[in-house]
Chains A and B, each alone.
Chain A
Amino acid sequence: MTSFRFRDDAEHDEPALAIESFLLDPEAGAVRLEPGDDARALLPALDRLRLVEVAFPTFRDGRGYSVARILREAGYAHELRAAGDVLLDQVVLLRRAGFDAFASRAPLDEARVTAALARFPYVYQKAADARTPVWALRHG
């Protein structure tokens, strides 16, 4: 497994619970979402959340991208980790959707990840990252 983190804070060291267990445990700060889980069920517990791990059993299942944006739109600012079948060719979109950590089942080369993230000089749309869409660049 290869892990990357695009955060400066210390890693939150707590096992991630399944959503049902997390919601029942008022002390828990880490949750793991499976593709069918409703990210919005976490919103009442946003204050205590420190780590959200989103499972990608296969890279082709794109529900996790909506999970990430929903949590970021709701103000969640702690670690958001994509875990599982996380591959080089999806990291750009995962970052844009709001993920700031990867835990990839297969080896991921750091230099290639860095190169992939630098590849597109501009983006067309506003998303959960800080990148400015070209329409904003065009019109100030």
Chain B
Amino acid sequence: MYRYDGYDQAIVDARVAEFRDQVERRLAGELTEDQFKPLRLMNGLYLQLHAYMLRLAVPYGTLSSAQMRVLADIARRYDRGYGHFTTRQNIQFNWIKLDDTPDILALLATHEMHAIQTSGNCIRNISSDQFAGAAADEIADPRPYAELLRQWSSMHPEFTYLPRKFKIAVIASDSDRAAMRLHDIGLLLKRNEAGALGFAVYVGGGQGRTPMVAPLIRDFVPEGELVSYLEACLRVYNRYGRRDNLYKARIKILIHEMGAERYAREVEAEYEGLRALALDPPAAELHRIQAMFAPPPFEAGLADTLDRSDPDFAVWADQQVHPHKQPGYASVTVSLKPVGGIPGDATADQMDVMADLAARYSHDELRVTHAQNIVLPHVRKADLFAVWQALDAADLAVPNLDLVSDIIACPGLDYCSLANARSIPVAQKIAERFADLDRQRDLGEVKLKISGCINACGHHHAGHIGILGVDRKGEENYQLSFGGSGAEDASLARIVGPGFSEDGVVDAVETALETYRSLRQPGERFLDTYRRVGLDPFKAAIYA
């Protein structure tokens, strides 16, 4: 894992002191709310329906067990005993007091964490693959590049007052577990024909009210020129991105309006000038960071077998365990999606349990996934049974990864001032409807995603099944869509037809999945069947 040196620590400490001063000036009336708002947002502080929400950065989703314990501590001392892991691999606390925030940020800084740029019209936390450093299919660990970009993008002198927020994801395998092409910039680590490492750069993806899958803007940027190239991408956006309309201000709209080819040409012209300025850190800096992401001391020669004699354990292991590049090891996904729960929520006690398990069984590491679960990346297969037992005792062993109840949902109208409808109760009702796990397993992989307004924080455009809550004449109404994907086969979901009531949409989901069961060919997921047969048979069944 990355460890701060004196420079990193001094910068983060200065940022805490700066924000403490800003909060004091706000409370003294020296800053207007209009002036204070972008400052608090860039320190993670968001004003919701009932209280301030504080979103903390988990860079590229990686946490140590000590850091996870700090999150539990914050949940207990400053919130209501729980926290909410987000689709950008961060965590947010929903019941925070403004005057506590400088102390919370100071506490974080003592554990090499911060909330810098987790909101606001700036470059946000860099996200990555939750199996980075563990997956057998990666070219190299993508996180050192993400850390390099974290530093580059922090308090950037040119790109802190952008037209709109800016999200970057870095992955290093052909399987996309981070919805890379639904980011403002998606970076795919690859080797060119000469064997050199660099990035395919996708720009202009996003969800929100105008969802777009990012087009490829440059096939290969050498790893040593990544910063220069990204400066060029951002500068074209900062200069020409729309500022007249909040809803048209994301880079996807600029690229849609000017065309990907023209955008690429403008970026090339900037890049030619910027690469001469030696803006990129030297290779030695990347190597310094990479050394901190060296693989943990895995034991060699472990057996790759699993004792499956306990049937409940075997079910869990089949669903929640991902292959590891080191023989005898596996990555475990801890489900934060129990039936009746709030997707992505964990209590302070659960955080402590996960921290303890990471310390004991996973080389002190945890990951947050964009699907709002937690990963223990490096577990010996021989320890899986003990891990499962401990998780089960903490209500963290639901074997539903990628099944219909592994729902992504935004906070919705229960918390969010932007929302038009509630998301959490719909997620809970769907999870209850499909509570029978045998039935869920029979239905196979279904990525169901729910947003409570068109800003799409619940990723409904990228759901195999997407649900969007809208306000229709004062009533909550839910639109259903099919066929989205945030994976390597990225696609946007299509609206099925007229919307439904809260219970009606649960019925419609069930009808759709039963229709899939009757139409599927061997090996087909819901998404595959939908892509093969199209919308009509589903529509006919749902609106019969």
Q: Are B10 and A124 in contact (CB under 8 A)?
A: no
What band does the interface of chain B fall in when counting residues whose beta carbon is under 8 Å from A? 35 or more
Q: Contacts A122-B11, A124-B155, A134-B151 hold; do A59 and B35 have CB atoms under 8 A apart? A: yes
Total interface residues in chain A, CB < 8 Å: 35
Q: Are B7 and A93 in contact (CB under 8 A)?
A: no
**Minimum C-beta distance from A54 to chain B (A):** 13
Q: Are B7 and A62 in contact (CB under 8 A)?
A: no
Q: Is A28 in the interface zone, CB < 8 Å from B? A: no
**Chain B: CB-nearest residue to A131:** B157
Collect the chain A residues with CB atoms within 8 Å of residue B281's CB: 133, 135, 139
Collect the chain A residues with CB atoms within 8 Å of residue B158's CB: 62, 65-66, 69, 97, 127
Q: Are A121 and B11 in contact (CB under 8 A)?
A: yes
Collect the chain B residues with CB atoms within 8 Å of residue A119's CB: 14, 17-18
Task: State A66–B281 Cα separation when bound (angstroms).
Answer: 21
Choose one: A61, A66, A97; the contact of B243 (CB below 8 Å). Answer: A61
Task: State A62–B35 Cα separation when bound (angstroms).
Answer: 14
Q: Are B35 and A126 in contact (CB under 8 A)?
A: no
Q: Are A120 and B161 in contact (CB under 8 A)?
A: no
Q: Are B11 and A124 in contact (CB under 8 A)?
A: yes
Q: Are B38 and A121 in contact (CB under 8 A)?
A: no
Collect the chain A residues with CB atoms within 8 Å of residue B274's CB: 73
Q: Is A137 in the interface zone, CB < 8 Å from B? A: yes
**Minimum C-beta distance from A100 to chain B (A):** 14
Within 8 A of A (CB), among B1-53: 5, 7-8, 10-11, 14-15, 17-18, 22, 31, 35, 38-39
Query: Chain B: interface secondary structure?
Result: helix
Q: Contacts A66-B238, A139-B282, A139-B284 hold; do A125 and B35 have CB atoms under 8 A apart? A: no
Q: Is B326 in the interface zone, CB < 8 Å from A? A: no
Known contacts A93-B155, A119-B18, A135-B151, then 19 further A-B pairs from the complex at CB < 8 Å, ordered by chain A residue: A35-B243, A60-B38, A62-B161, A63-B238, A69-B235, A73-B273, A97-B157, A120-B155, A122-B10, A124-B11, A124-B151, A124-B154, A125-B152, A125-B279, A126-B278, A127-B158, A134-B151, A135-B281, A139-B281
- Interfacial residues, chain A to chain B (CB-CB below 8 A): 35, 59-63, 65-66, 69, 73, 87, 89-90, 92-93, 96-97, 116, 119-129, 133-135, 137-139
- Interfacial residues, chain B to chain A (CB-CB below 8 A): 5, 7-8, 10-11, 14-15, 17-18, 22, 31, 35, 38-39, 121, 151-152, 154-163, 227, 235, 238-239, 243, 273-274, 277-279, 281-282, 284-285, 288
Please name 24 pairs of A and B residues whose Cβ atoms are closer than 8 Å in the assembled complex, sorted by A.
A35-B243, A60-B121, A61-B161, A63-B243, A65-B160, A65-B161, A69-B158, A73-B277, A89-B31, A93-B157, A97-B158, A119-B14, A119-B18, A120-B18, A120-B155, A121-B14, A122-B7, A125-B156, A125-B279, A126-B278, A127-B157, A134-B7, A135-B285, A137-B7
